[in-house]
Amino acid sequence: MTELLVQRVSVALEHLKLKTAQANLLAHLHEADQRELPSIAFLDRLLNDELASRAERGIIARTRLAHLPIIKTLDSFDFDAQPALDRRSIAELQTLNFLERRQNVALLGPPGVGKTHIAIGLAVCALQGGQRAYFLSTQDLLDQIRVAQLDGIPGHKQRHLNTVPLLIIDELGYVQFDKSAATWFFQLMSNRYERRSTVITSNKNFSEWGDILGDTVLAGALLDRFIHHCHVLSLKGESYRMKTRQGATSTTGKTTRRAGPS
Ligand code: ADP
Ligand code: MG
């Protein structure tokens, strides 16, 4: 009789697509039996098991879609190497209040100081918090703009850029925009203004964005929107890559500098 009931519950869990609960049903029943748990405690454990595995699967799926170049966490960020950076401002961003308030983040500074690391860390935080995020380098953005212009009408990817709750645009400053790409970028940022959060990392100060976009008036209008609700974090100092590399090669004293964007 009991076996029949277990079988029926297992089939019901399968129909309800409660895969983890179904897989762990016997273990939970055994535990409840051993510890003489009341039925509500058994049910509580079974359902929490299902919820936890769903949350985990959700994080994995969102992370796959976020297009992160590498996984970095804010926990692994060495704040001692970046004394100019206020830890409290990062802690505040980790609460994800900025996402709820549709605020932006600007990470500015020279190469190798951890701008991309922090941007990815924020994305990971958002993904774990149940939010969707999308990471793209400025070159990826320009490629997508080119595709959008060829297609004529906004496709799925372009709509995604407009609507994803957290968009990260990395390394603004190394690649020059032409007129139509700059206009497209301005439109994207206008669409996202006060509706979605954007993180931009750049090796250039705001005053130099006119040069990147090839149009100071357009850059001014874009910055006006972007900075209106924005956490501006300025990172300083030597490249962390160089520092760690110097440490690794201190016996020879030799270091090599890689050309191109960081
Ligand atoms: P940027 O984007 O400013 O050029 P990155 O974030 O790409 O710099 O950092 C370069 C490398 O150094 C990455 O591997 C990053 O994880 C590491 N890094 C930079 N700053 C720190 C830091 N303060 N703590 C830990 N790792 C760091
Ligand atoms: Mg970078």
Which residues touch 134 (CB under 8 Å, ≥6 apart)? Answer: 65, 66, 67, 160, 161, 164, 166, 167, 168
Q: Is the pLDDT of residue 259 over 70?
A: no
pLDDT tens string 115-159:
999 999 999 999 999 999 999 999 999 999 988 887 776 677 788
Q: What atom in ligand 1 is closest to the CA of residue 79?
A: 23
Section 236-257 average pLDDT: 60
pLDDT digits 0-9 by tens, 8-28: 999 999 999 999 999 999 999
Angle at 81 between CA 83 and CA 120, to 5 degrees: 100
- The per-residue pLDDT for range 43-77, each reduced to its tens digit, is 999 999 999 999 999 999 999 999 999 999 999 99
Is pLDDT above 90 for 257?
no
Whether residue 185 is predicted with pLDDT greater than 90 in this model: the reply is yes
Give me ligand 1 centre to Cα 243, in Å. 10
- What rounded mean pLDDT belongs to the chain? 91
Per the model's pLDDT, the better-predicted residue between 212 and 152 turns out to be: 212
Percentage with pLDDT > 70 across the chain: 92
The protein residue with its alpha carbon nearest to ligand 1, atom 23, reads 78
pLDDT value of residue 250:
41
Q: What is the pLDDT of residue 165?
A: 98
Dihedral sign for Cα 157, 161, 163, 165, please. Answer: positive
pLDDT at 1 over 80: no
Please enumerate in sequence order all residues whose Cβ is within 8 A of that of 87, keeping only pairs 6 or more positions apart, or say none. Answer: 79
Residue 245 binned pLDDT confidence (cut-offs 50, 70, 90): low
- 116 CB less than 6 Å from ligand 1? yes
Q: Give the Cα separation of 240 and 82 in Å (integer).
A: 9
Atom of ligand 1 nearest to the CA of 82: 23
Q: 49 φ, ψ to 5°?
A: -60, -45
More confident residue, 253 or 30: 30
Distances (CA, A) of 104 to 2, 101, 118: 57, 9, 14
Counting residues of the chain whose pLDDT is more than 90, the rounded percentage is 82
Is 20 touching ligand 1 by the criterion CB < 6 Å? Answer: no
Whole-number pLDDT of residue 154:
66
pLDDT at position 84 is 85
Say if ligand 1 is within 6 A of residue 81 CB.
yes
**CA–CA separation, 166 vs 189, rounded Å?**
12
User: What confidence score (pLDDT) does residue 174 get?
Assistant: 94
Whole-number Å distance between alpha carbons of 174 and 159 = 25
